[in-house]
A = this chain, B = another copy of it.
Amino acid sequence: MRVLILGANGMIGAKLAASLAAQGRVAGRAITALNLVDLTAPTAPEGGPTSTCRAADITAEGTAETLIADRPDVIFHLAAMGSGAAEQDFEGGYRVNVDASRALFEAIRTAHQADGYTPRLVFASSLAVFGAPLPDPVPDSQIRTPQSSYGTQKAIVELLLDDYTRRGFFDGIGLRLPTIVIRPGAPNAAASGFFSGILREPLAGLPSTLPVSRDVKHWLASPRAAVGTMTMPGLATSVGGQIDALERVAGKAASARITEAPDPAIAAIINTWPKAFDPARALALGFTAETSVDELIAVYLEDDAPKDAQSWDAQS
């Protein structure tokens, strides 16, 4: 199996590449080549099958044809301009998130019509395809009403993915990933950043700020679950529930590092997001996720937390 990952430098892309290299298999078959692509050349994961690492701009004319020249059997299309950037840069967002995806789909269709090429295509979509007003939980049948250009772009590609699949040009699946908690690394400026921050920073002995009320609910999964099974299901929890779990794992010293500082601007954004899902179709397909925040924290400590900065066991 030849595997192509577009957007291999992202958090999910890098973890997916490492996971596939370690397993050496995908969909029950041996991986013979693992091709990693991003705007700057990715680093090959250690061990595993032969990897090539290429820098490529998927918005450039002809790039898609080049990427599928060796007919990868499985393509993970994770490349995207993020939600904040796509809202700032209207034209750029459509160019990267819609036009480049369609160019990829068109290159595959042309190859399909030439030689019957029909790869498996996994597309990373987003909960941003949904927007208020929303029922709680959100059913699979909920209309996509994105409140951002990013969400609109993801919803458009979901529709294209379905139509190209129905036509038989490729075998596509779109997965809307839950908000990933606990993201490794430094705090970022995203409106959703605090969902990871209120767990990650206190675990490292650092202070953290909570910009919304403890009642705020959201849909979470660990990066491991997102990579291991490309999970759509997630875990519905409130921010207060996250903090309670932090305290169970790391003691009151950890939860005391969180400063509650309500920010009306962030609350307004968060309030339009879905809070929980009823992912009946994904569950029927065998997708799973964590069932408690305690598990999310355990996954983080095992997979991602800096080993020299786990101060919680000493302090609690």
- Give the distance to chain B from A67, nearest Cβ to Cβ, in Å: 21
CB of A288 within 8 Å of the partner chain: no
Nearest CB in chain B: distance from A105 CB, A: 10
* A263, chain B: closest CB distance, angstroms: 23
B160 touches A147 (CB 8 A): no
Contact with B along A2-22 (1 / 0, CB 8 A): 000000000000000000000
Residues of chain A in range 145-171 having any CB-CB distance to chain B below 8 Å:
145-147, 149, 152, 155-156, 159-160, 162-163, 166-167
Chain B residues lying within 8 Å of A66, measured Cβ to Cβ, are none
* A248 close to B (CB within 8 Å): no
Complex CA gap A140/B142 in Å reads 10
- Tell me how many residues of A have a C-beta within 8 Å of chain B: 21
Q: Which residue of B135, B156, B162 is within 8 Å of A145 (Cβ)? A: B162
C-alpha gap A142/B109 in the complex (Å): 30
**Does A144 lie at the interface of the complex (its beta carbon under 8 Å from any beta carbon of B)?**
yes
A159 CA / B130 CA spacing, docked (Å):
12
Q: Are A146 and B162 in contact (CB under 8 A)?
A: yes
Q: Is there an interface contact between A163 and B152, defined as CB atoms closer than 8 Å? A: yes
- A159 and B155: CB pair below 8 A? yes
Flag whether A143 is at the interface (Cβ < 8 A): yes
Which chain B residues border A162 with CB–CB below 8 Å? 145-146, 152
Partner of A146, one of B142, B149, B163: B163
Assembled-state Cα–Cα distance A47/B181 (Å):
66
Chain B: CB-nearest residue to A102 = B94
CB<8 Å pairs between A and B, sample of 16: A90-B109, A90-B167, A135-B141, A140-B143, A141-B142, A142-B143, A143-B143, A143-B144, A146-B159, A146-B162, A147-B166, A149-B167, A152-B160, A155-B159, A156-B156, A156-B159
Given A90-B109, A149-B163, A152-B159: 8 more A-B contacts, CB < 8 Å: A90-B167, A141-B143, A142-B143, A143-B144, A146-B159, A152-B160, A152-B163, A159-B159
